[in-house]
Amino acid sequence: MPLSTDMMRTTLVMGGARSGKSRYAEELLTAADGACVYIATAEPRDDEMAARIREHQARRGDKWRTVEQQLDLVAALQENCRADTAVLVDCLTLWLANLMAASRDIGEETGRLVHALPGLEGRLVLVSNEVGQGIVPENALAREYRDHAGRLNQAVAAAVDEVVLITAGLPLRIKP
């Protein structure tokens, strides 16, 4: 059962891998009147990722229109966030990986996203992985990713109305 109320316009749903965060985020918006848009940031670079994408697509059903945007998330949000539309972004940490692979300025892209959030219309739910609660990664690239993800999550959490942490499929509201 979702914790969110209609009063919450922007929500960040966070959790670990396979925690149930995407399913929870989808449930927040499925009951919404009007259109539902799913902004997908994943690229099917291998068979496992392609299978995950198919699983998500099958679960969503026909109510959702999918927009694939791996890099220019702000443009996709500005184009799709409308008063009569519920938008789900899944997920910020895959978007971050895409930005890093494209050698984009992560601080600049994070700033663009956070700056855009207050001006967007409609209901918006963003999904992100919590990657900083495990062991310190062995290699420099993985540590850089973890650090960028932590800063991205902090910046988005500060900018949204609500933050929900999902653990074992159970939601815990941590903001407000």
Catalytic residues: 56
Edge-to-edge strand ranges of the sheet holding 123-129: 64-68, 35-40, 85-90, 123-129, 10-15, 162-167, 170-175
What DSSP character marks residue 116? H
Q: 61: which 2 tokens?
A: 């059903």
Type of residue numbered 84? D
Measure the CA–CA gap between 89 and 76, rounded to whole angstroms. Answer: 10
